[in-house]
Chains A and B, each alone.
Chain A
Amino acid sequence: MSSDSGKLAIDSKPETKPETKPETKPVVKKPEEKSVELPKFEKDISDKIVEKFGDKVEVAFVKKDRVGINVSRENVHDVAKFIRDGLNYDHVESVSGVDYPQNKEIAVVYHIGSYSDPSLASQILVLSTTAQREENPIPGHDATKLPTLRDIFYSVEFHEREIFEMFGVYFEGHPDNRRLLLPEDWADIPPLRKDFAIKGR
């Protein structure tokens, strides 16, 4: 992109007013420059993951103290394993489901942090994957399934149980796929899905 802008600058010079135009142009260019100025430490983390997995992963965002990685459900287990063994992250703070009925998918987002590596103390790695969404869910018996990360991060145990009851995402390999918060006689669809409406709203 810099070569293009250089050409433009050369083109503009012979015309007129070489002083005013360079002033206006950087304003146009700024968004591109910003995207280059990513925080270095966070960029290194995302680069390491991309270097290892290539186009299997997609870097969603790189912000201060936050790195977002999107990965398909086939590769999420391998990527999580690399994050633990290769990048020293050691626990999961939060597991959130996000329902996207228009895309027919349910995103499951892991917020992964580190206690043992002091340089990563302020960092959160946001690992996001998606499960296939069914219109008429039968939790545990439909295609809405993901591999569990409990054998990698022990701390997801209760979080994944919560996602299972609230979104109907079954975690294959999780040793304890029971309900956690919902009542035992709950017979409706998983309540945090978008098509579960609150009364009166």
Chain B
Amino acid sequence: MTTELPRDIKLASSEKQIDQSSSNWLPPGLALQKVDEKIMTLNVGPQHPGSGHMRLIIQIDGDYIVACDPDPGYVHRGEEKMAEYRNYITNIPHLERPVIHDSCNILYPYVLGVEELLGIEVPERAKYLRVIGAEINRCIYIMYWLAIYGIFLGHSTMFMWPTGDRELLIDLMEKMTGARVTHSHFVPGGVRNDLPANFEDVCLRQVNYFEKRIKEYAAVFYDNPILISRTKDTGVLSRQDAIRLGTTGSVLRASGVDFDVRKKEPYDVYDEFDFESIVMKEGDSYARSKVPWLDMMESCRIIKQALEKIPKSGSVRVKLKPNPKGKGFDTVYKRVESGRGSLGCYIVSDAKPEPYRLKLSVPSFRNLIALPYLLKGEKLGNMPAVYWSLNYWPVEADR
């Protein structure tokens, strides 16, 4: 088994080691050397809308990209450091900030981890409510991402439609939790609120309509010959490389690896639902853009099953002691499948009300490593198509 990937990107960094502390240390970007008269270095971002909240340093030879050096960190907020100074309950509102439109899923591993540390068993009804919340949030996230993907491909209908249809689900979450985007809904021991009266009927109606609606996207977007010609066979990530680079989520599943945490390591009640993990073999931008869309249909199936199976009454939250502490020095690593992929949370507890260390292993950060490999050899015009197909959210990667 060879380990070296074919990565002959002409960065100074790949040829010699760079010492950060010495005076010859250069910040990212400046480490790119001028390798040829014909090659030009281009900064895309951090203000460029096509790059999100990050900078891509790209070297082009004519119209072709020869090297890319991603430079994230422009929205680094120190979530992990902040978490060491706040107790387990007050950590909840700020931990969801990296992905506000997927806030249930980013809290999910944290909440599961804290429950394992405290040894709490969650009421059955709360588990179903969490699944409903997480799946609706997954759809909200994917619709947001789809809108951005559409507009960067110059397809403004695909910006308007998901943005509008997303409101259906945002209204549902508002009914369920009281907040439109930052719900702070999941807490150790269950969920914060029970459902309002006749939520089930409204939810079923909205989700049915939503499902019908997203199927229409095929005609305008996914079967559109312009989209297909721009994204087919661009930025191909082979199965082998997807595994070696440790990518996750839609990037991994678009490259033919069947890995969905909901299937492989079911948490809460995910083992009770009938759904499929979407896998495509092509590994190109088109497959990566299609997998999340198909994921949403599976999410709708899960929501409808959960609405049927949910216990009709019962508690939704275990009462915790004030300032819960762990039982001693303990570590826990929990992961869930978020809208972008496997999202892990590693908590080190030393029996104090605050975590000793909290690490979020976020899918965007894990997928970022694939970008230099995918962009090499592409045309500059295809950069947004490849970059946004990674299902990448810069704020989450920076934490």
Please report A residues at the B interface, Cβ cutoff 8 Å: 65-66, 68, 84-85, 90-94, 96, 98-99, 109, 111, 115-116, 121-122, 124, 126, 138-141, 151-155, 157-159, 164-165, 174-184, 191-192, 196, 198, 201
Contact B335 A140, beta carbon cutoff 8 Å: no
Contacts of B331 in A (CB 8 A): 68, 109, 126
- Name 14 extra pairs, CB < 8 A, besides A126-B331, A176-B18, A192-B80: A91-B245, A93-B248, A93-B342, A94-B359, A122-B265, A141-B22, A158-B368, A164-B20, A165-B20, A179-B27, A182-B73, A192-B81, A198-B81, A198-B82
The answer to whether A116 and B243 touch (CB under 8 A), given A98-B356, A141-B21, is: yes
Report A-chain residues with C-beta under 8 Å of the C-beta of B333.
66, 94, 111, 124, 126
In the A-B complex, list the 6 residue pairs whose CB atoms are closest, starting with the nearest: A155-B246, A94-B361, A184-B27, A91-B246, A181-B73, A96-B359
Tell me whether A91 and B244 are in contact in the complex, defined as CB-CB below 8 angstroms, given that A139-B20, A154-B3 are known contacts: yes
Please tell me if the beta carbons of A157 and B369 are within 8 angstroms of each other in the complex: yes
Q: Which of B76, B82, B346, B365 contacts A182 (CB 8 A)?
A: B76
Judge whether B28 and A155 touch: CB under 8 Å.
no
- Name A154's contact: one of B25, B80, B85, B244 (CB within 8 Å): B244
A178, B265: Cβ atoms closer than 8 Å: no
Q: A121 is contacted by which of B20, B246, B259, B398 (Cβ under 8 Å)?
A: B259
Cβ contact of B73, chosen from A91, A141, A151, A180, cutoff 8 A = A180
Q: B252 contacts which chain A residues (CB < 8 A)?
A: 115
Residue pair B85, A201 in contact (C-beta under 8 Å): yes
| Among B13, B82, B264, contact of A122 (Cβ-Cβ < 8 Å) | B264
Q: Is the interface of B mostly helix, strand, loop or mixed?
A: loop
- Can you name 17 A-B pairs with beta carbons within 8 Å? A65-B265, A66-B333, A92-B246, A93-B361, A115-B259, A121-B265, A155-B366, A158-B365, A176-B11, A177-B20, A178-B20, A179-B20, A179-B27, A180-B73, A182-B73, A184-B28, A198-B81
Query: B245 — which chain A residues lie within 8 A by C-beta?
Result: 91, 154-155
Main secondary structure, interface of A, reads loop
A124, A126, A165: most-surrounded residue (chain B CB, <10 A): A124
Q: Nearest Cβ in chain A — how far from B235, in angstroms? A: 18
Kindly supply a per-residue 1/0 record for chain B positions 4-17, scoring 1 wherever the CB is within 8 Å of any chain A CB and 0 otherwise.
01000001011001
Chain A residues whose CB sits within 8 angstroms of the CB of B37 once the complex forms: none
